[in-house]
Structure 1
Amino acid sequence: MDTEKKLLLLGESAASDVAGANDRGPCERRGIEEFIYPARLPGGRVLRQFKVLLDNACHFSCAYCAQRAGRDTPRTRFTPEELAGLFDSLVRRGAVDGLFLSSGVGARPVATMDRMLAAVEIIRRRFGFAGFVHLKILPGAERAQVDRAAELADRLSINLEAPSATYLSSLSAQKDLEGDILRRVGWIASAIRERRARARSHTTQFVVGAGSERDLDILSMSARLYREQGLGRAYYSAFRPVPDTPLQDRPATPSIRQHRLYQADFLLRCYGFSPAELLLDPDGNLDGASDPKLVWACAHPERFPVEITRAGREELLRVPGFGAKTVRRILAARRQAGLRDFHDLARLAPLARKAAPFVLIRGRACKTQLSWDL
C-alpha cells in the first residue's frame, strides 16, 4: 500500500482522539489538511498539529471503537521511517507545526511502542525537528519506554476512556484500569517531574456515554488525577456509534453533555471547585440546560452579591460570567481605582450582564437589563 493510501486510513483512524484539537466543520477538511488540526495553546497561539496513527491494527476489542479487533476494516501501518519522512515533508512545506502520534495496540504493545519512539527519534535526531510532539503512551508500555517518551515529546497521554474498572470492563474486558492504565499515568507523572524530561504536561480522555457512567464518576476521576498525578487536562469525547461494533445501536451522546462536562472541568481545574460542590441531578449528572457555575451560584444566595471592589480572587472566580482573564483585569483596574459602575465593568468583562445579578460595585447593584447566556 502506498503512502497516500496509508495516510488516508491512519489519519482518519486518529480522528476519534479529541485531545488538543479544536472542532472544525467539514468544509475545512481537504486532502492532507484533513489530518491537520488546529490546537490553541496557552497565550492564544494556534498550533497546526498533524494527527495520525502509526498502526490501526489492535488486539483490544473495545465495544465502541472502529479499530477494535475482529472488525472488518482495512488495516495498515507506517514504518517509523515512513511516518518521520512524511511529517518532515509537511514541516518543510510549512503546513504543520506539531505532531500528535498514537497507534492501535498490537499483540505486542512493547514492540508497537518501540516503533512509535523510533519515529519520534528520527524526527528529532535526523530531521532536527524541535517543535511540539504529543505522544500517546500505550497500555502495556514499559516504564523505560515512558521515560524515553518523556525525553522526546512535549506532551504525553494515555486514555482512561472510562472512570472506573467496572465501567471500563463493560466496554473492554481485556483492559485493566489499574494495571494497564493508571499505573502508567503514575509513570508518566513521575517522568515529567524529572528535570531531564522534555515533556511538561500529560492528558487523558474519556468516552462519554458509551457506558452507564455518571458525570459525577467522570469528574471525580478527573479531579483525582489533577490532585494526585498533576494531570494537565482531561478531554471528554461524546460517544458516537460505529457500524459493526457491539454498540452500533446505542444512541449517540448529546453534545450538550460533553459541553457541560468541559464547563464543570474548568471549575475543578481552574476555579477551585470540588466535585462535591457541583449540583447534580438524582442520577449524578449535570443539568444539561444550564451552565454548572450559574447553577451553583443560584443555589448559594448566601455567597452573593460580591462586592467586586474588595473581593478576593477566589471569590471573584465564583461569579458567573467571570473567567480568569476577567478577574485579572478587575484586580488590575482596582489598583488604579478604575471601577466605578457597570459601564466600567462591561469594558473589563465580556459577560458582564451575566455577572450583574451577583455583584455590587461600590455598594450598588448593577443597573442594567439582565441577559443570562446559559
Structure 2
Amino acid sequence: MDFDRIKEKLNILADAAKYDVSCSSSGSKRTNKTKGLGDSSGMGICHSYTEDGRCVSLLKILLTNHCIFDCAYCVTRKSNDIKRAAFKVQEVVDLTISFYRRNYIEGLFLSSGIFKSPDHTMERLIRVAKKLRTEENFNGYIHLKSIPGASDELMREAGLYADRLSVNIEIPTKSGLKLLAPDKKHEDFMKPMEKVKNEIIQYKSESRLIKSTPKYAPAGQSTQMIVGATGESDRDIMYSSAFFYKKYNMKRVYYSGYVPISHDPRLPALGTEVPMLRENRLYQTDWLMRFYGFDVRELLNENHKHLDMEIDPKLSWALRNRSLFPVDINKCDKQILLRVPGIGLKSVSKIIRARKHRKLNWEHLAKIGIAMNRAKYFITCDSREKELRDLSSENLKSIIIQNSRSKFRTYTSSQLSLF
C-alpha cells in the first residue's frame, strides 16, 4: 500500500466532506453478538458530546470528489478547479478498520461525488459497507449518503448494511434547485427518501412476526438543506422541513449555512457568509416542532417570514400571543407549560412531578432550574409583579434582552475571575 498516496487522498476527501453536517447521533442499537469489531450505540457520532460528556467521532470522508454535475453551490462541482482524488473500495475498508482498532473512531460516514452515474456511485458505497459487515465483521456505526437518482434495488440493499441513510435535498425549494443545479431533478431526491421510508416500515412490520428479520437502516434517514444560497425565507426552509418530517418520517433535518465559494452571479457575493445565529434559530425552531408540540405555521407564516435574530423562536411566539398568558404554574397542563419561554422539557417534567406534592412558589421554580429572567413574565405562582401586566410586547422584549445581557456579563466576569 502506498501510504503517502493514501494520506494525500485522505487529506483531500476528508476536507471535501466537511460541508456535510448531517452526521450526528445515530440512534442505532446494533449490538455486537458475534465477537466482531465494535458496537453501534445511540449516544452520538462525529465529534458530538453525549449527555455524560463523552466525545465520540467517526471517519467522515468522500469516496471521491469527482462529480458529473455542476451545482453552483458545491465545492466539488465539475467546473471547479480543485485537486481530485478517489478511494478504492478496499482502501476505505482498510482505513475504517485501522482507525477503529487505534480507537480513533467509532464508525464511518461515507458520502461521494457522483461519478459515471448515480447507480454506479451508490453501488460502490454499498460495497464498502457490505465488506465491513460481512468480511470484517464490523458492528460499528455506518452512515451512507444516498445518491439522488439511485435505483430502488440499490436503496434497499444499502439499508441492510447501513445504520442510517441520508439524501441531501440541498436547496429547500424546487425553484432554487432549478436555478443552482439545473442538471438535477427534484424527484430524484424524493424517490430514494420514499423507498427508504417504505422499507423501514416493511422491515419493522416483518420483524414483529419473524425475529430473524434483518435490521434495515435502524437509525432511520436524515437530510440536509443549504441555507442562504438562494433567497428562501426562514418560513420556506421550515415549511420544507415540516414536509420531510411528515412525509418521509425523517429522523433529522440539518441546516448548513452556505459558504460563498465562487463569483457565480446566481450566488451570494464572496464574503457574505450566513450568520451562525441564523442556523441556530432554525435548529431551535426545528426543536420546537419536534418536541414541544408547535405547528410550523404558529412560528412562521405570511406575517412572520423570518425568525427574530434577537430572541429565540419560543419567546418570539409568546410575545406575539400575550393574550394566552400568564398561565398558572400550579394548574396548567403539560402542553401549555411547554410553551412558556424559559421552561424546557426537563423542567416541565420536574414541575409536573413536584406540584403533585405541594403548591410551587418562585423559590421552588428557581431550584428546578427554569430561566426565571424569561419565564417570570409569562406565569403566575404565589405572586406576580403587577406593573409588568401593562407592558407592551416590544417593551417586554427589550427588558428580557437587557436582562439576558446583564446575566451574560455577570457570568463572564465570574468566569474571568477564576483566572
TM-score for the superposition, normalised by structure 2: 0.79
Q: Shift of residue 266 of structure 1?
A: 1.1
Q: Note if contact 2:229-2:268 (Cα within 8 Å) is conserved in structure 1.
A: no
Which residue matches 2:135? 126
- Given candidates 8, 11, 16, the residue that maps to 1:8 is 11
Which residue matches 1:183? 191
- Given candidates 16, 22, 33, the residue that maps to 1:19 is 22
Q: Look at both structures and tell me which one has the larger radius of gyration over its CA atoms.
A: 2
Which residue matches 2:95? 86
Q: Note if contact 1:281-1:287 (Cα within 8 Å) is conserved in structure 2.
A: no
What SS does the aligned partner of 1:78 have? coil
Matched, 1:255 2:276: yes
- Cα distance in 2 for residues equivalent to 1:139 and 1:262: 25
Q: Structure 1: which 5+ runs fail to align?
A: 23-35
Spell out, residue by residue over 1:129-148, the C-alpha distance to the aligned partner (whole angstroms, 9 max, x if none).
21211111011211111112
Which residue matches 1:145? 154
- Given candidates 319, 339, 343, the residue that maps to 1:298 is 319
Q: Note if contact 2:67-2:114 (Cα within 8 Å) is conserved in structure 1.
A: yes
Which residue matches 1:359? 379
Which residue matches 1:50? 59
Spell out, residue by residue over 1:31-72, the C-alpha distance to the aligned partner (whole angstroms, 9 max, x if none).
xxxxx9312468876431221111111111111111001211
Which residue matches 1:285? 306
What SS does the aligned partner of 1:37 have? coil
Q: Note if contact 2:241-2:253 (Cα within 8 Å) is conserved in structure 1.
A: yes
Between the aligned residues of both structures, percent identity stands at 35
Spell out, residue by residue over 1:81-125, the C-alpha distance to the aligned partner (whole angstroms, 9 max, x if none).
100110111110111112111111112111111111111111122
Note closer, same or farther for the CA distance 1:3–1:100 as it changes in structure 2 (3 Å cut).
same
Spell out, residue by residue over 1:328-355, the C-alpha distance to the aligned partner (whole angstroms, 9 max, x if none).
2222222343x52222112222523321
Note closer, same or farther for the CA distance 1:365–1:155 as it changes in structure 2 (3 Å cut).
farther
Residue pairs, 1:1-374, within 5 angstroms: 2-21=5-24, 37-40=46-49, 46-177=55-186, 179-193=187-201, 194-195=203-204, 196=214, 197-243=216-262, 247=267, 249-250=269-270, 251-279=272-300, 284-337=305-358, 340-362=360-382, 364-365=383-384, 373=404
- Cα distance in 1 for residues equivalent to 2:403 and 2:290: 24
Q: Note if contact 1:100-1:133 (Cα within 8 Å) is conserved in structure 2.
A: yes
Q: Shift of residue 282 of structure 1?
A: 5.5
Note closer, same or farther for the CA distance 1:142–1:279 as it changes in structure 2 (3 Å cut).
closer
Q: Structure 2: which 5+ runs fail to align?
A: 26-44, 205-213, 389-398, 406-419
- Cα distance in 1 for residues equivalent to 2:50 and 2:263: 37
Note closer, same or farther for the CA distance 1:252–1:82 as it changes in structure 2 (3 Å cut).
same
Q: Shift of residue 20 of structure 1?
A: 3.1
AA matched with 2:56? L
- Cα distance in 1 for residues equivalent to 2:244 and 2:268: 31
Note closer, same or farther for the CA distance 1:58–1:42 as it changes in structure 2 (3 Å cut).
farther
What SS does the aligned partner of 2:103 have? coil
Q: Note if contact 2:314-2:341 (Cα within 8 Å) is conserved in structure 1.
A: yes
Q: Note if contact 1:39-1:49 (Cα within 8 Å) is conserved in structure 2.
A: no
- Cα distance in 1 for residues equivalent to 2:53 and 2:385: 31
Q: Shift of residue 294 of structure 1?
A: 0.5
What SS does the aligned partner of 1:148 have? helix
Q: CA RMSD in A?
A: 2.5
- Cα distance in 2 for residues equivalent to 1:41 and 1:98: 16
TM-score for the superposition, normalised by structure 1: 0.88
- Cα distance in 1 for residues equivalent to 2:160 and 2:404: 44
Q: Note if contact 1:105-1:139 (Cα within 8 Å) is conserved in structure 2.
A: no
Equivalenced residues, count: 358
Note closer, same or farther for the CA distance 1:51–1:336 as it changes in structure 2 (3 Å cut).
farther
